[in-house]
Amino acid sequence: MRNIKKSLSSALGLALVPVALSSGIANAADKLSYSYLEAEYVFGDELDLDIGGNDKFDVDGTRFKGSAGLTDNVFAWGSSTSLDVDLPSALGDTNFDSQSLGIGGNFTLMPGARQLDAWGGVSYERLDAFGETDDGYGLSAGLRWAALEVLELNASASLRDYDDEAWVYGVGAVYSATPQLGLVANWERWEIDSDGGIDPEMDIFSVGARWTFR
């Protein structure tokens, strides 16, 4: 039971981590900005792990995150997330809370109206679940592309470690309703390598809004 809870803590904790850092930095020539505030609704309902004959895990909650462009090529980010999780009766229901702080760098691969950026970063992660607190780290990298004047597409991969090691893959989109206000949608796939031999996999979705500072 302890191994199951630990694996679930690692798996569900990944939902609390922003994988696709999407919006902009700061210079008039850039289409993409790395200075923004964002609020998201996070949800998912199926985990590839059989416990008590049931692999349905209703997950929903909120995630708040922000990023600040420190220079043209360096940015910092942070996030705070809270999830309500309905688990099978053997485990009961619980809450997951997490905070993340990171710093990263970005490089423009293709400038102009269809700007393409590569970015990477490192982060400190803190997770509270099942009455325990775990500290960990994250390594992330991704691409951001201004596909249209009002549409950004992004993709990312991230290595997370809360004692258990995990890979997280994500794709997302940002639609700019105005130069400052954007609507965001993301899909994330988690793949956990657990010491207890339980290797959960899960799909998580999020939708929300972003305010960009230019």
**Amino acid making up residue 186:** N
* Residue of 66 and 14 predicted with greater confidence: 66
Q: Which two tokens stand for residue 96?
A: 């997951």
* Residue of 56 and 113 predicted with greater confidence: 113
User: What is the domain extent for residue 170?
Assistant: 2-212
Q: Which two tokens stand for residue 140?
A: 């992330």
For tokens 């954007």, the residue is: 182
CA distance 52 to 35: 45
* pLDDT of residue 57 exceeding 80: no
In this prediction, residue 46 has a pLDDT band, given cuts at 50, 70 and 90, of low
Mean pLDDT value across residues 135-150: 94
The CATH number given to whatever domain includes residue 189 is 2.40.160
In this prediction, residue 22 has a pLDDT band, given cuts at 50, 70 and 90, of very low
Please give the biggest Cα pair distance in the chain.
56
Q: Which residues pair with 176 in a beta bridge?
A: 182
Q: Which two tokens stand for residue 185?
A: 């949608």
In this prediction, residue 101 has a pLDDT band, given cuts at 50, 70 and 90, of very high
CA distance 28 to 55: 49
* pLDDT of residue 29 exceeding 50: no
Which pTM was predicted?
A: 0.80
CB 135 within 8 A of CB 100: no
* pLDDT of residue 20 exceeding 50: no
Q: Which residues pair with 83 in a beta bridge?
A: 61, 96
Helix (H) or strand (E) holding 3: helix 2-13
* pLDDT of residue 40 exceeding 50: yes
User: Over the stretch 66-94, which tens digit does the pLDDT of each residue have?
Assistant: 999 999 999 999 999 888 877 665 555 67
Residue 141, pLDDT score: 97
Q: For residue 163, how many C-alpha atoms fall within 13 Å in the half-sphere facing its CB? A: 17
CB atoms within 10 A of CB 174: 25
Mean pLDDT value across residues 113-136: 88
Whole-number mean pLDDT of the chain? 81
CB atoms within 10 A of CB 155: 15
Q: Which residues contact 164 (CB under 8 A, 6 or more apart)?
A: 6, 7, 10, 192, 193, 194, 195
CA distance 211 to 111: 23
In this prediction, residue 18 has a pLDDT band, given cuts at 50, 70 and 90, of low
Task: Report the number of distinct structural domains present in the chain.
Answer: 1
